Structure 1
């Protein structure tokens, strides 16, 4: 890999949110409730965050398109979230693609998937598969919904609707995710938040690395490098360089995307600080490799509908 200067080309932000928790029901955001979160106290993000706020945070970063990821809106109304975000996209020109909510083990999974696929911007769905809450539980034999036959029946419908699956699960469940990717080779599995690598201790990173190696062996798996904050710490290259470099080595730039996870990652750093950190870590890669990571992979996987201002952006 040849040396290169910091990337300055177009960027697809493959993971962000917008919301109005006082207007709509997000059980974890609306009201005074605080649920356990890997970043700790997330009170500062329990506020409206709209496209104008996103653009203000991203000012100075060459964002050409964005991908909205479901934000745990009221699970009784998954289509309502997609309808709301689609309306924001029409009005504001972003987001340019949507990862929608779908509970794959529910009786209405088929109906919900068909409904989500009917929206023009929906490319994928997400459902955090509850299950093993620690490495010890995995060692004791506990599995997640990824191994539940009813949930898998819902997952099997994704191919019919041309939908990907965005997976967010702790690192200790990644080997199980690799089995899921193996069993459904025609469905693209998008690993969120770098596989949630945890506290960066040598023992944790060794377990995370093993899971990511298993996933990398499956050609239908891609990874979003996002959500890398550590509770109580500012985002730093030192904390994240090994994680990012490992992902790039295992998957290659054609299977890696970058995401801001804003506004949530704003708890630990500014938008510019996070993306500048990513650029610095990736700067040893060639210009073509950097372009693949920051632009081409997201373009291929999420097929964003570019706004009028960005229609002149290159497509390859």
Structure 2
């Protein structure tokens, strides 16, 4: 079969919209710069709405739907972000699914999850579980909130409200993710940003691969291939092809999906380059498998009505 770049409909499984001038995103405030994996992110402190996204994506990439992921809105008002993004969807017809904010170790977690689940586009929640900041810290015994009993009690409520969990954590914490998935088999974990393969040294990639492989046979963990740019370097498929291909190999074409992480990843590449790179990396797969990676899996896992 001749290799061919995918040219069908696409669902972007992880992106953000925001209006920093009116939205309470502390990290996007004019006088704030937090430590960030891509360095100085001042360039994305601008309004970014569906018309901006579609201008970036089209005409070459046929993105027909997107998944909005929480964007570090003021944690004192988790419902404010959900209400806001539903007004965006009503006005523009996009996004088409929402990953909402919830603090799983908070005293009001059950009320928040119930309220989030009642919004028509909410399919999942995200709470970055912090923890070890390096492989050495993880090896020393530092654990994330995935091992905290109160947090896990909140996590246990996700199944009650029919919600997935979007997990963003570096690869060196994935042994905890495996345990979480096994302990709560009725909750789907969607691993964000390819397990964050920061370290591109031979040893770093070897350890990332080993950690990702821990999840290869866990049916209630799937992965989003995204967020693999490098600081101070333009996005290039030659830097990322092996990571993309190995991720698909580890998880299989039924448990992986592509996403842009825009506008965040505009710091390292344009949408044309990133999406074309993804298509190039999997061009040897069958049209059916490419359709799963670019469209069908995101539709299924985020229960999208499109």
Same fold per TM (> 0.5)?
Answer: yes
Alignment of structure 1 residues 1-316 onto 2, 5 Å? 3-60=2-59, 61-306=61-306
Measured in 1, the distance between the counterparts of 2:304 and 2:35 equals 32
Kindly indicate whether the alpha-carbon contact (under 8 Å) linking 1:170 and 1:196 is maintained by their aligned counterparts in 2. Answer: yes
Measured in 2, the distance between the counterparts of 1:180 and 1:224 equals 18
Q: Provide structure 2 residue ranges, at least 5 long, that are not aligned to the other structure.
A: none
Measured in 2, the distance between the counterparts of 1:117 and 1:30 equals 29
Q: Give the TM-score taking structure 1 as reference length.
A: 0.95
Measured in 2, the distance between the counterparts of 1:175 and 1:245 equals 22
Q: Give the TM-score taking structure 2 as reference length.
A: 0.98
Measured in 2, the distance between the counterparts of 1:170 and 1:41 equals 20
Kindly indicate whether the alpha-carbon contact (under 8 Å) linking 1:159 and 1:186 is maintained by their aligned counterparts in 2. Answer: yes
Kindly indicate whether the alpha-carbon contact (under 8 Å) linking 1:194 and 1:228 is maintained by their aligned counterparts in 2. Answer: yes
Measured in 1, the distance between the counterparts of 2:187 and 2:203 equals 31
Deviation (angstroms), 1:304: 2.1
Kindly indicate whether the alpha-carbon contact (under 8 Å) linking 1:66 and 1:304 is maintained by their aligned counterparts in 2. Answer: no
Measured in 1, the distance between the counterparts of 2:35 and 2:2 equals 42
SS at match of 1:177: helix
Deviation (angstroms), 1:69: 0.3
Q: Provide structure 1 residue ranges, at least 5 long, that are not aligned to the other structure.
A: 307-316
> How many positions carry a matched residue from both structures?
305
Kindly indicate whether the alpha-carbon contact (under 8 Å) linking 1:121 and 1:305 is maintained by their aligned counterparts in 2. Answer: no
Measured in 1, the distance between the counterparts of 2:46 and 2:249 equals 38
Cα RMSD, aligned residues only: 0.9
Kindly indicate whether the alpha-carbon contact (under 8 Å) linking 1:45 and 1:263 is maintained by their aligned counterparts in 2. Answer: yes
**Displaced runs of 4+ in structure 1, greater than 6 A?**
none
Deviation sequence 1:179-213 (CA, Å, 0-9, x none): 11111111000000001011311111111111111
The aligned counterpart of 1:312 is none
Measured in 2, the distance between the counterparts of 1:65 and 1:303 equals 12
Deviation sequence 1:114-137 (CA, Å, 0-9, x none): 010000000000000011111111
